[in-house]
Structure 1
Amino acid sequence: MASAIVAQSWERSRRRGIDPDRADPPVDLQGPDLSEHLAAHRMAAVLPMVEKVLVSGVVTSGHLVAVADADGRLLWLYGDRGVRSRAERMAFVPGALWSDDAVGANAPGLALRHDVPVRVRGAEHFLAPAHSWSCSAAPVHDPVTGRVVGGIDVTGHDAAASDEMLALVRATALLAEAELRSTPAGVLVPGTAGAAAMPTATAPRLLEVLGTGRPGLSGHGPLTGRHAEILVLLAAHPGGLSGGALAGLLADGRLDDVSVRAEMSRLRRVLGPDVIGSRPYRLAPGAVETDADRVVALLDADVDAAVAAYPGPLLPASDAPGVADLREELHVRVRAAALGAGSARALQAWTAGSGREDPDAWRALGSLPDLFPAARSSARSVHRVLDDRLGA
Structure 2
Amino acid sequence: MSDRPIDSAIWSAQDIRVTAHRLATVREAALAGETPSDAPSPRAVIGESWRRVRVSGVDPDGEQQQNPLPVAELEHRRQMSRLSPVLPVLNEGLLAAADAAQQIMVVTDAEGRVLWREGSAPVRRMADRLGFDKGADWREGVVGTNAIGIALVARRPVLVHSAEHFVRSHHQWTCAAAPLHDPRDGRLLGTVDVSGPAPGFHPTTLSLVSAVARLAEGELRTRHHRTLERLRSSAAPVLARIGGRALAVDPHGWVVGVTGLTPPDRVALPKSPEAGPLWLPRYGMCTLEPLPGGWLIRIGQQERDTGPSRVVLDVSGRDGSTVTVSGPAGSWSHELTPRHAELLFVLAAHPQGRSAAELARDLFGDDSRTVTVRAELSRLRRHLASVLAHRPYRFADGVEVELRLPPQPVHLLPQSLAPAVAAARRG
Q: Which has the larger radius of gyration?
A: 2
Relative to its length, the structure with more strand (as a share) is 2
More helix by share: 1
Structure number with greater CO (CA < 8 Å, separation at least 6) is 1
